Structure 1
Amino acid sequence: MKEVFYWLFSAVCLTGCRGWQVFFKLYIHKVWKNTRFIFFHTYI
């Protein structure tokens, strides 16, 4: 898991600000989907 994070971090550093925006958009979207999925399956 750490390797993936470092790889993504390196890619983001290379691409600059644009990379950060894309990375955060994808990451937050993925986390949101996962937490929503867990939330619904836990409480419903």
Structure 2
Amino acid sequence: MERDRRHDSGGDGMSEAVRFLVLGLSIGFALGYTFEVLRDFFMERR
């Protein structure tokens, strides 16, 4: 049921690609931000 409804909302492959892209961007941003914070933290401690 869930699958059919999602399929009706247009472009199955397109939505998958967009969701994957957004997920990748958010993860990359989170990792980059965390890395920056950690680097600053270790720089301060030294």
Aligned to 1:6: none
TM-score (norm 1): 0.63
By how many angstroms is 1:34 displaced?
0.3
Match of 2:17 among 13, 21, 28: 21
- Measured on the aligned residues, the alpha-carbon RMSD in Å equals 1.6
Aligned residues: 33
| 1:24-39 mapped onto 2 (5 Å cutoff) | 24-39=20-35
Question: Residue 43 of structure 2 corresponds to which residue in structure 1?
Answer: none
Instruction: Point out 4+ residue stretches in structure 1 off by more than 6 angstroms.
Output: none
Structure with the larger RCO, 1 or 2 (CA within 8 Å, 6+ apart)? 1
State which structure, 1 or 2, has the greater radius of gyration over its C-alpha atoms: 2
